[in-house]
Each structure stands twice: as structure tokens, then as C-alpha cells.
Amino acid sequence: MIEYLIDGPLWYFSLAVFCIGVLWQLARILFAASKTDLSVARGSASSGALRNVFSRFIPHHEIAPRIRVQVIAGYMFHLGLFALLFFAAPHVLFLEQNLLGFGWTPMPHWAFIVASQFAFFGLLILWLRRMMNSVSRLISTLDDHVAAILTFVVMLTGCLALLKGFSELRLLHRFTVELLLIYFPFSCLMHTFTFIPSRAFTGAWFGRRGIDA
Amino acid sequence: MLLITLLLPQAASAAPPPQPKDFPQGVSAVSPGSDLWREIRQRDLPVEGITQVQGVDSGVLINAEGDRWARFRIENPVRYAPTVLLFVIAILVLFYALRGRVGIEGGLSGSMVKRFSDYERVVHWTLAIVFLFLALTGLILLLGRTLLIPLFGHHIFSLLASASKESHNLFGPIFLVSLIMMVVSFARRNIYEKGDLTWLLKGGGFIGKGHVSGGFFNMGEKSWYWMVILIGLVISISGLILVFPNFGQGRVIMAISHVVHVFGAIILIAVSIGHMYMGSIGTEGSMEAMKSGYVDINWVEAHHDRWARQVKENDKILSAEEFARLHGRKPESTDTATGQS
């Protein structure tokens, strides 16, 4: 019964919530009313947007020494998670069979293990740093903690099910993924989709005013 | 809850299946190959033969050492590990019942001194969390067959063992990286110095009367630190030998590594229980060092007087109000601060 629920209705429900929620949030941002800028342009908005999207991948040299841990751990976590999500053999197979109808070459098992170690280690460091730094702790919301813990739990249940010998462990992993999909559009996890437009918007604003930032 | 729901039907079926009535005694048949295999195993000749198959131990038809290792595992670590761990817990419970919490003379003042940076606490908690996870999964693998099968049945144990084995192997290298970060962050301050031996001879204050002098770290803390580093490295290296059998190590080396890994882990888990006790409910004011990074000046004077002198000379003491403002807390009166840990 519970197997049917997790593999069937709950999966489709969470997927629908995820897709509709993400589209709704993006549309909300896109169609948010903003005043037309009537000032004379001092520079190109497009090049400013493009420059900002890429320049923000590297921290500004003045603050880089102070945020070295966050930057390294941040890259470890995000790159590890990206590799796991799109190049782990079970995920590629799942996407091919259940969603896309086509697949691609997955990464080898050793790379899968290294990617998950990067992701676990990075996320643990980032969350602990959030808890240990008094300023970070004060500005963190419940959403930040729930998002981090839920992501960690999803990765952990996936790691527990690595041997693929027990359907209970696979179901547990899938259930946590479904919880994450439902939570995703209404949380800070939306930064997955908004960080590029957000950088572009700020960069365009700077570029038009001729601000070199 | 979900895991329990998923596992309940399996727990119900954990009882042994009924024996068929037609064959109550079963059918016994002598294996035609037993004599041959017995001869190979027990003959007075080298166990390793010659084969065209290239690989470590590929010339060994039967690994007789494997039996010895399995017996040793069951008769030693599996038998004694629970006793050792329960003994440590019992000692701590007894100690707490007799001595209670080690307090600070005059109580907490509310004036705070910075002890650890954010990064140092991140390193400590990363190592602690990964260690606890590895300890739990490792104990499931070591003792699960004895302790969990009678409670939950074979299916649930094999499920837990599978999950534990995969996650234990995956988190092991993270422990090694955390350990290296621990070396880089804390090694310099943990080098033994003059006065440490006195601390040891007085049993950290438990033997004799009067205060025992200590620097930034006392002898007990330094010894625990080096124990974590050295035994941690031994556990990590032996673990890597077990996880990566593709580097040419044979079965004997892997069996030895396993024994070293298990004994090292049990020692570290046992002592870490003491460390957790001393760092939390055992000693007043200690937990704050790894929570906020600050400790009360009275705590510093009680446990680390040589460091207290340096702190006072450098005028690095924050008032209760400054500390509260820095951590977004409401300022507490001295009386309130005295009551908290």
C-alpha cells in the first residue's frame, strides 16, 4: 500500500507541486511591476548583466579571505550535488525511464562516491558555519535550516540505498525526495532557479548606470 | 515513522518458518567433496599453489586464516565491546552520582573570554558529527548480528547492515579529511609543555587538594586530542585498506586491518563518551566553549589559570552586556548567569 502511494500518487503530486510552484514563483518575479527607467543610459545593460552573472562566481578580492570556508564548501556542495543529481547512474536511469525517455552516459561508481562525499562534506560545513557564526545564526530563518536538513536527509537516504538490495530503503529515499519537491518552490531552495536572473537583473541595473561592480 | 511503517510487515515475518511435517529429521547427505577440501585445508604443505590467474591470493584455494579471523572477531571484539562501552557509561553514572557536576567556585561571572574561533568550532563539530555517525553504523555492523537479530529479525538487520555498510564506507574518508583539518587547527596549542606533568600527577584535580594549574589546554585535553589524532589516523588508514581492496593487499592484511580498525574504534568510542560527559553535564561552563566560542572568566581561572593570566594581561575579557550584544542575546544578570552552564 505504502509502496503504491510513494511510487504512484505521491510522486505525481509532488512533481506537479514542484513544476507548478516553480513556474508560479518565476512568473511572479518576472511580472512583478517595476517602473520604467527613464534616465539616460551611461552603459550597456546587457553587457552589465552578462558580466555580473559570471563575475559573481568568484568572490570579491577584498572579502575573499574572510569567506574562504564558505566559498570552498559552497562549491564542493553545489558541484557535488549537481553531479549526483544528473550523472549518478540510478538517477540517469530513473530520468530516462520515468520522465525524459532518453538518457546519457552516467559517471563511474568511484566518481559517484567522490561527488557524494564532496556534497556531504560541503553541506555539513556550510550548515555548521551558519550555526557557529553569530551573525549568520541571527540572520538565518527556519526555512534556511529546514532546507539544509531536508537536502541532507535526501542525500543520506540515497546513500543508505546505494546497494539497491532493499526496496524499503529505495522507498525511503524516494519519499524524502517527494517531500523536498513539495517544499522546494516555497523555500530558499528556489535560488536554484533565481540566482542567474537575480545576478543578471542587478548587473543590468549597474551596467545601465555605468557602475563597475 | 516511515521507516517503521515500511519495516513492520518484515518484523512480523521474522519468526522462523514452520518445518515440513513429512521430513521432521531432514535429509542428511555427505558432500562428496568434503574429504578433498579437508585434505587441502589441513595438509602440511604451503597453502598457496601455482595458477595462471593473475591476482593477489589467486593461488590460494582455501583461505584457512579467514576462519581464524572470523573466530577471533566473534570471540573478542563482538563479545567484549558492549561490556567495555557499558562499563564506561556505568563509571560515569557512578561518578556523577557521587561527585555531581564539577562546579566553579564562586559560580559563573558572566564576563566572557574568546576561546575558539568560528572555524575551529566548525572543524570540531564536523569531526564530532561524522565520528558519531561512523560509530553508530560501525557498531551496527559489529554487534548487529548478536544484538539486533534477536530483537528485529534477519530482514531488518540485513537492511540496517546494508545501509550502515554503504554509509560507513562513504563517510569514512570525510572523517579523515576532518581529522586533517583538526591537526592543522589545533596541533600547535596541544604540544605538551612544562606543568602538564603536574596536572597528570594530581589526576586533573581529583587526587589531593588544591587547584591544578593548566594552560590553554590542560594535560587531559591534550592527551585526548593526540589520542583522537593518532587512533583516528590508524582507524582511517585501516579503513581505507578495507574499502579499497584493489591496491594489492591480500586477505591477511585486510583481516589484520579489520582487527586494528575495530579495536581502535572501540577505544575511541569509549573515551569519547567520557569526553562528551566532561564537555556537557560533567563540568559547569564547558559546553559554552563549543557553542558560542566564549567561556566564562571564572571557568578559565578554575581550569586554565596560566591562560587566565595571559587573558587578563591582554585585557581580552568581554562584559556580560558586550557578550550578549555580540550574540544577539538579552543581557543576563550575574545571578542568572551563575545558574546556567
Asked if residue A44 is part of any domain, the answer here is: no
pLDDT in tens, A158-176: 998 887 788 899 999 999 9
Q: ipTM for the complex? A: 0.89
Interchain CB contact of A169 with B (< 8 Å): yes
pLDDT in tens, B302-340: 888 889 988 888 878 888 888 888 887 776 655 444 444
- Between CA A180 and CA A91 the distance in angstroms is 16
Phi/psi class of residue A164: alpha, beta or left (left: φ > 0; alpha: ψ in -120 to 50)? left
> Are the beta carbons of B162 and A2 separated by less than 8 Å?
no
Q: Compute the nearest-CA separation of A25 from chain B (Å).
A: 30
Measured between its terminal Cα atoms, the distance across chain B in Å is 34
Overall domain count for chain A: 1
Asked if residue A95 is part of any domain, the answer here is: yes
Name every residue in B having a CB less than 8 A away from some CB of A.
2-3, 5-7, 10, 118-119, 121-122, 125-126, 129-130, 158-159, 162-163, 165-167, 170-171, 173-174, 177, 292-293, 326-328
Nearest to A117 among B122, B125, B174 (CB): B174
pLDDT of residue B339: 40
Low-confidence ranges of chain B (pLDDT < 70): 1-28, 205-211, 331-341
Instruction: Give CA angle at B172 (A70, A129), nearest 5°.
Output: 20
Nearest to A2 among B6, B167, B173 (CB): B6
- Between CA A44 and CA A212 the distance in angstroms is 11
Interchain CB contact of A153 with B (< 8 Å): no
Asked if residue A173 is part of any domain, the answer here is: yes
**For chain B, domain boundaries:** 66-100+118-204+216-291, 104-116+293-341
> Are the beta carbons of A163 and B118 separated by less than 8 Å?
no
Nearest to A168 among B122, B129, B159 (CB): B159
A 10 A CB-CB count for B43 gives 9
Asked if residue A38 is part of any domain, the answer here is: no
In a mutagenesis test of the A interface, which of B5, B116, B118 is the best target, namely the one with the most A β-carbons within 10 Å?
Answer: B118
Scanning every residue of chain B, which has its alpha carbon at the shortest distance from the alpha carbon of A113? B170
Nearest partner of B238 among B259, B216, B219, judged by Cα: B259
Asked if residue A26 is part of any domain, the answer here is: no
pLDDT of residue B22: 53
**Cα→Cα distances B8→A150, A169, B14, B153, B155, Å:** 24, 14, 10, 11, 11
Asked if residue A146 is part of any domain, the answer here is: yes
Q: In CATH, what number does B66-100+118-204+216-291 get? A: 1.20.950.20
Chain A environment of B158 (Cβ under 8 Å) = 166
Asked if residue A55 is part of any domain, the answer here is: no
- Contact in structure between B236 and B176 (CB atoms under 8 Å): yes
pLDDT of residue B84: 94
Q: Compute the nearest-CA separation of A176 from chain B (Å).
A: 10
- Between CA A118 and CA B57 the distance in angstroms is 34
Asked if residue A80 is part of any domain, the answer here is: yes
pLDDT of residue B341: 34
State how beta strands B317-318 and B112-114 pair.
Answer: antiparallel
Chain B environment of A108 (Cβ under 8 Å) = none
Cell, residue B66: 579467514
Range of the domain at A92: 2-17+61-206
pLDDT of residue B206: 67
In a mutagenesis test of the A interface, which of B166, B169, B291 is the best target, namely the one with the most A β-carbons within 10 Å?
Answer: B166
Residue A129, domain CATH = 1.20.950.20
Low-confidence ranges of chain A (pLDDT < 70): 213
